[in-house]
Structure 1
Amino acid sequence: MDFEESKPKILDPKTALLKAEKYCVYQERAQQEVRDKLYTFGLHQRDVENIISELISNNFLNEERFANAYTLGKFRQKGWGKIKIKQALKLKRVPDGLIKKALQQIDLDDYLQKLKGILEKKAALLKEKDAYKRSYQLKQYAYGKGYEGDLVVEVLKANDL
């Protein structure tokens, strides 16, 4: 028997609203995350949209606040670059304008410093002796973290990594 099927569905919109408020208080959420959660309760679209509106009007849900918190959190904690953060926010259906605004919160000096630190840490772990292959591996690593190609090349040249 599937676990999801055995969970009792919450059909009462008032109970669902309380649960959604708790869900939003725990950490910042995107509207789509909350919407998906509400649908797991077995609610109809009209009820879900009413609850979303209620959460927004009571300031439990704020897409701009979420985008800023998510962006700075992923940058500082995980060392993600702007490309990866942008993709993740798009997956959470955050509007492009808010994504652009949130990415501007990242200080350029901090961004370059973080990229340099990531590349230095990775370079220390690489056993490759061939400079060309080593450079390629470092670039690929930085691209995977979501950093822009021109910045990666610039930081690698400037720091002889």
Structure 2
Amino acid sequence: MMQKHKTYTVEEAKRALESFCAYQERCHKEVVSKLIAMHMIPEARDVVIGHLIEHNFLNETRFAKAFVLGKFRIKKWGRIRLTRELKFRDISTYNINLALKELSDDTYLATFHDLAEKKAASIRESHPLKKKKKLADYLLYRGWESHLVYDKINTLV
């Protein structure tokens, strides 16, 4: 037996995606995925995306800036991880660079040092090389630059 899925008119899709985008910043890829999940045909998807961009519900530059500041502040991600995650979401290099400029170097380094010191204090490992490896893995996974990570590890451990 075939399953029925809800069908949407273009106007219904516009309204649904307006509230989807108003709730939090979205990238084009998320909106396209949502439209595909709504079983919209490509022509209708283009109409809806055009409408969202025209009425400023969808803005990749604004999304990139909000993403970078949010993930940096809350998850303490470094520039490498932020760049990788934005590229995964098909954000242009231009917008990625604009968003990363929002991070001041002073705040960036202060956050890095606080994170590294807090994590180093929490690692329960007596062997210094194992402790260095755990700390390096943690910081590199979070996308901090390797030269910062290794300089900080050598001063901490």
Work out whether 1:43 is the aligned partner of 2:44: no
Aligned mates of 2:34, 2:40 — CA distance in 1: 10
Aligned mates of 2:69, 2:139 — CA distance in 1: 18
Counterpart amino acid of residue 7 in structure 2: I
Aligned mates of 2:7, 2:66 — CA distance in 1: 30
Q: Secondary structure at the match of 1:29?
A: coil
Residue of 99, 114, 127 corresponding to 2:111: 114
Shift of 1:128: 1.2
Residue of 83, 87, 91 corresponding to 2:88: 91
Work out whether 1:132 is the aligned partner of 2:144: no
In the comparison of the two structures, how many residue pairs are matched? Answer: 156
Counterpart amino acid of residue 82 in structure 2: I
Identity of aligned residues (%): 35
Work out whether 1:11 is the aligned partner of 2:8: yes
CA RMSD of aligned residues (A): 1.6
Residue of 48, 63, 81 corresponding to 1:66: 63
Counterpart amino acid of residue 94 in structure 1: I
Residue of 75, 98, 102 corresponding to 2:99: 102
Aligned mates of 1:90, 1:156 — CA distance in 2: 29
Matching residue of 1:76: 73
Greater displacement, 129-138 / 95-104: 129-138
Shift of 1:87: 1.1
Q: Which runs of 5+ in 1 are unaligned?
A: none
Counterpart amino acid of residue 144 in structure 1: Y
Aligned mates of 2:15, 2:7 — CA distance in 1: 11
Aligned mates of 1:104, 1:155 — CA distance in 2: 23
Shift of 1:39: 1.2
Q: Is the 8 A contact 1:112 1:155 kept in 2?
A: no
Counterpart amino acid of residue 98 in structure 1: N
Counterpart amino acid of residue 25 in structure 1: A
Q: Which runs of 5+ in 2 are unaligned?
A: none
